[in-house]
Structure 1
C-alpha cells in the first residue's frame, strides 16, 4: 500500500476549504485577495471555496461599500468573515461534587456558563440528569438552541484512553463511568468527547493562560486532589490507557505521601492547629467555613500559624514539582485549579526550594484561569474537533 495519498479533487477541495476557514477564524473581515495571500490559492479557487463555505453556513459575505471620498472604480472588493454563531460548542467540567459548563461560539468566545452541585446520593442516573440540566441552563444563558451544538467535550477526574473510555479500575474513577457520551447523543444528537480533567487543564492553560506558546509544560490541578496534564513537544500525552500524568506515585515520595491537594491540606492543617491552643487569627473564621483562601489571607497578614501552613504547603509542592521535573523535564509547571489564584504567595518559596529536589528546575507559575481551567480546555478540545471536521458537520440540522 502506498505511503502517500493521491491528490484527488475532493481532497484538494477539503484542504483548500480547511485553509480558508483557518484563516477566517484568526481574522475578521477579509477580501478574496487577502485569502489568496494567506492560503496560496488562485483567485478562481479562492472565490469558489468562499462561496461553498458561505452556502454551507460557515462564513458570510459582508455588504461592500466604497470608501467615502475615494475615486475607486468598478465593483468594491467582496469581503467575507467567519459566521461565529453558525453553531456552538460546550465545555464540561465534571468533578466529584459539581458539574460546570461553558458555552462558546466558533471563535472561542464564552457566551454562557452554568454550574450545579450533584446530589449526595443520586447514582449514575442522578449525575447524568444534573449534567444535562446544567448544559441546558448554560445554553439558555447563551441564547442558543440545543440543535446548535456542534460538539461537546467533558473533562472527568479519571483517566480516559484515546477512544474516550474511562479507566474505571478504582472506585473513585468509576463514579465517572456513567455512559455520558451515549446518553447525551441519544437525547440530543450531540457528539461528545471525553477527556481527563487535568489533560484539559493543560489544553486550557496553553490556550488562555500562562503556558501560551510553551511546548513542554505540566499543569498540576492542586485543589482537593492532585492530578497533572502533560504536554510534550506541543502534544498532549495520554499513555497507553490514558493515565499519563497520574500522580499516585506521590504516596511513595518522602515528604508527600498522598495525593491530597492544597485546598484540602490547608483546611486539614488549620483544623489541627485550631484543635490546640495556638493563638491565631484563623479562630475568627466561622466553624465549617475554613478555606485555603482564608489561610493564605491570614498568612499574608502575618499570622504565624497560617504562615507555617503556607510554608509546609510550599515545601510539599516543591517536592512534587521536583519529581515531575526530574521525570519529564518540562520548561514550565503551572499550578492550576480553584486554589491557584490565592496560592501565588507560595511561588517564591517553591522556586527557592526546587534545586533541592531536582537538577532541572522548571519555571513555576500559578494559573490565572482559576476553576474555569478545565472547562476552558474542554471548549478548546471541542473547537479543535469542529475545526478538523468542518466539512462533515451539518449546520442545517
Structure 2
C-alpha cells in the first residue's frame, strides 16, 4: 500500500498560511492570541505567517493595538497564598485584518439582450456596476465580446479601479456549461453564447474567467445572500421569460454530464404545464389572449400584477392560473430532487410574492415532499451576486498562488 508523502516544511508553511488567512478573512479583526487558539500554532508561527501574508498584501496590521493583560500566574510569580493573581501590563496585542482592497472581482450576467457587470471588493461588496445592451441576439461573437468588455470597463471605471486589479471574473450565461467551463451547443440558442469569452478576456486583460450557467450562479447567490442563505438542498428558479433552475445538493452545484442539470425542457411533457415559459411570459400572453388589461393598453406582466393587486377579476384569474402552473413545476422538481427550499428568482421575484399563498396551498396535492417556497430578495441582481461569489470562491481557493497588484 503506498505511503502518504511526508509533510515538507514548505507544505506545512502553506497549510499554516491557508488556515491563518481563512480565519482572518472570516473575522473583522483577529489578534495573535485568537489565531493561536483557532489554529493550534505557536505565537512565533502565527506571527511569521501573518508577516508573510502582510508582505503578500492579503492582510494588514492595524494601528493603535490594545494591550493583552498578563497575570502573575502567567509570568510564574503567583503569591501562593490563594490570592487572585494581579493583572499586569503585558505585550501589546498585534491585530490583523483581511485586506478587502487587495484586488477586485467581476461578476457578469450575460443574457440574450443585455449584459451586466458588477465590480466587488474581496468581501463581496459591489462598488461599481454597468449594463450594456446587444443590438440583436444573434450578433457576431466579436461584437458580443466587445459589448461585454465595454460593460466591464465601465463598471471598473465606476468603481474607481482598473483592469489590472481584477483577480477573477465569474460569468453567467443563459446556456448549460459543463464542469470544465465548456458551453453545451446542442440547441441553437445556447450556441449564441459560445463566443470564446474566456480566451478573449484573457487575451485582452489577462483575466481568469469562470464561465457558468446563469441559474447555477443564481443558486450560489441566493445561498450566499438571499432567502436561501445556508440551505444545502436548494433549487432556484429563474422564472421571468423562460424557466431555468440552479440545483444545489448537499451544498454543491449539480451540473450533469454536459452541464444541463436544471434545464427545464422536460416541462413540455408535464401535464398542466406544457412549456418552459416563465411567469412574465405567461402573464403577458394570457392577458393579451383575454383582450389585454380591463382598462385598455398593452398587455404586460407588471400590468397584470398591478391590476390583480387592485382586485381586477380578470387579472386575479390569470394569477390563479399561473399559481397552479408554477405549483406543478415546483412539484415536479420536488419529486425528482427533494430540495428543502425552492426560490423563485430573477426580475419577476418582486411581483411573484403574490403567487406564494396559492402555490403553498396547492403543493401537497401534487407532491408528497413539498418544499418551502420563497421569493428571492435579490431581484434582477441575483445572477451577478452569484457570479461575484463564484469569483471569490476561486480567489479564496487560490490565494497563495495569486500575485496581487500593487496598492493603488
TM-score, normalising length: structure 2 = 0.91
- What is the aligned residue count? 386
Could you say if the C-alpha distance between residues 4 and 324 of structure 1 is closer, same or farther in structure 2, counting changes exceeding 3 Å? farther
Post-superposition Cα deviations, 1:339-375, rounded to whole Å, max 9, x if no partner, equal: 0111101001011111121111111011111111111
Q: Distance in 1 between matches of 2:329 and 2:119?
A: 34
Give the unaligned 5+ runs of structure 1.
none
Q: Distance in 2 between matches of 1:66 and 1:310?
A: 60
Work out whether residues 219 and 230 of structure 1, in 8 Å CA contact, stay in contact via their aligned partners in 2: yes
Work out whether residues 215 and 245 of structure 2, in 8 Å CA contact, stay in contact via their aligned partners in 1: yes
Work out whether residues 164 and 405 of structure 2, in 8 Å CA contact, stay in contact via their aligned partners in 1: no
Q: Distance in 1 between matches of 2:139 and 2:305?
A: 35
| Residue 238 of structure 2 corresponds to residue 205 of structure 1 | no
Post-superposition Cα deviations, 1:86-113, rounded to whole Å, max 9, x if no partner, equal: 0000010001110011111111111111
- Match in the other structure for 2:125: 109
Q: Distance in 1 between matches of 2:232 and 2:59?
A: 31
Post-superposition Cα deviations, 1:108-138, rounded to whole Å, max 9, x if no partner, equal: 1111111111112632111111100001111
Matches within 5 A, 1:73-112: 73=89, 75-112=91-128
Secondary structure, aligned partner of 1:150 = strand
- Match in the other structure for 1:118: 134
Q: Distance in 2 between matches of 1:14 and 1:74?
A: 31
Could you say if the C-alpha distance between residues 326 and 65 of structure 1 is closer, same or farther in structure 2, counting changes exceeding 3 Å? closer
Q: Distance in 2 between matches of 1:88 and 1:332?
A: 32
1:6 shift after superposition: 3.3
- Match in the other structure for 2:356: 347
Q: Distance in 1 between matches of 2:125 and 2:224?
A: 12
Could you say if the C-alpha distance between residues 65 and 50 of structure 1 is closer, same or farther in structure 2, counting changes exceeding 3 Å? closer
- Match in the other structure for 2:181: 164
- Match in the other structure for 1:280: 294
Post-superposition Cα deviations, 1:215-256, rounded to whole Å, max 9, x if no partner, equal: 111111100111001111111111111111111100000111
Work out whether residues 66 and 72 of structure 1, in 8 Å CA contact, stay in contact via their aligned partners in 2: no
Q: Distance in 2 between matches of 1:247 and 1:115?
A: 27
Secondary structure, aligned partner of 2:117 = strand
Could you say if the C-alpha distance between residues 2 and 192 of structure 1 is closer, same or farther in structure 2, counting changes exceeding 3 Å? farther
- Match in the other structure for 1:315: 324
Which range moved further: 18-27 or 43-52? 18-27
- Match in the other structure for 1:264: 281
CA RMSD of aligned residues (A): 1.6
Work out whether residues 106 and 168 of structure 2, in 8 Å CA contact, stay in contact via their aligned partners in 1: yes
| Residue 204 of structure 2 corresponds to residue 181 of structure 1 | no
1:213 shift after superposition: 1.6
Computing the radius of gyration from Cα coordinates, the structure with the larger value is 2
Q: Distance in 1 between matches of 2:303 and 2:8?
A: 63
The list of structure 1 runs, each at least 4 consecutive aligned residues, that deviate by more than 4 angstroms after superposition, is none
Could you say if the C-alpha distance between residues 155 and 4 of structure 1 is closer, same or farther in structure 2, counting changes exceeding 3 Å? farther
TM-score, normalising length: structure 1 = 0.94
Q: Distance in 2 between matches of 1:3 and 1:209?
A: 45
1:4 shift after superposition: 4.0
- Match in the other structure for 1:301: 310
Give the unaligned 5+ runs of structure 2.
68-86
Aligned match of 2:149 in 118, 127, 132? Answer: 132
Could you say if the C-alpha distance between residues 213 and 171 of structure 1 is closer, same or farther in structure 2, counting changes exceeding 3 Å? same
| Residue 30 of structure 2 corresponds to residue 30 of structure 1 | yes
- Match in the other structure for 1:238: 255
1:280 shift after superposition: 1.5
Aligned match of 1:328 in 309, 317, 337? Answer: 337
Could you say if the C-alpha distance between residues 6 and 274 of structure 1 is closer, same or farther in structure 2, counting changes exceeding 3 Å? farther
1:396 shift after superposition: 3.3
1:8 shift after superposition: 2.1
Work out whether residues 119 and 126 of structure 1, in 8 Å CA contact, stay in contact via their aligned partners in 2: no
